[in-house]
Amino acid sequence: MYINIDGYEICYKITGEGDRNAVILQGWGTNLSVYDSVASDICSDYRVIQLDLPGFGNSDEPREPWNVDAFADFFCKFMEALDIKQAMLIGHSYGGRVIIKLASRDSLPFEITRIILIDSAGVMPKRSLKQKLRTRKYKILKKIFANKAVYYLFPELIDDWRSRQGSADYRNATPVMRNCLVMAVNEDLTTLLPSIRQETLLIWGDKDTATPLSDAKIMEEKIPNAGLAVIEGTGHFSFLENPQMFRNIIREYIKAGQGS
């Protein structure tokens, strides 16, 4: 299904028959179908809404680069358009960034009942000396290669170098989305974590290299009402790598909430 919000065609779908709402916010570079198994795990208890954020999956791309706050603002408009007044929010990776932004705000047009963060982004890693030197080298070469005379002499060499810079997410993104990604990864959300008032479940793969388990432990420490469940032997997509364990964790969490 599609809905038009501010001139953007947004792809979304709804499953489940529950009388409560759960909304899944996706990770960077994914489409909503990646989270079908998560929706399936909870659809007996929740009406589950999945969406492609602007620039993701089959939704229109932002007309200009957006920071995380802009995506959070747009998500609020999406919730209003669907007349959702209350929901549990589930966020994977980049989706977790958006949820952290939303949950730390003083007011929202809807109520967040509970939060589940899966291998969430938001904690900026401390850079080693080696990484700092690599960044400095990159900036120097970028400036040199931007010179038209230099490019004229070595076009193939420079094009090859440019094609190998940045993460896979960065290289695969359009120019607008690259700028969105750069703004996101350069913003540390750690200071916002103590402002999250909702009960929060953190689900993490212990082999995650994109958002390492150390990030989860920081979130567990700083979010006032948070608990951490670790899925051993899994990486950044822990919910896909061990779906049975993930299902057990999330079902127990929902069951415990029903009994409280």
Q: pLDDT tens digit string along 73-103?
A: 999 999 999 999 999 999 999 999 999 999 9
8 Å CB contact between 98 and 77 = no
pLDDT at 49 over 50: yes
Statement to judge: residues 16 and 96 lie in one domain: yes
The two tokens of residue 53 are 């954020």
In the numeric block, the tokens 């359009």 are attached to 174
Q: What are phi and psi of 4, to 5 degrees?
A: -95, 125
Contacts of 84 (CB under 8 A, 6+ apart): 21, 23, 49, 110
Q: How many H helices and E strands in the chain?
A: 11, 8
> Can you name the residues that pair with 114 across neighbouring β-strands?
199
Residue 170, domain extent: 129-174
Statement to judge: residues 119 and 133 lie in one domain: no
Q: How many domains does the chain have?
A: 2
Assessment of whether the complete model's pTM goes beyond 0.75: yes
CA distance 259 to 54: 37
Q: Note whether residue 181 is domain-resident.
A: no
Beta-carbon count within 10 A of 149 CB: 6
CATH number of the domain to which 18 belongs:
3.40.50.1820
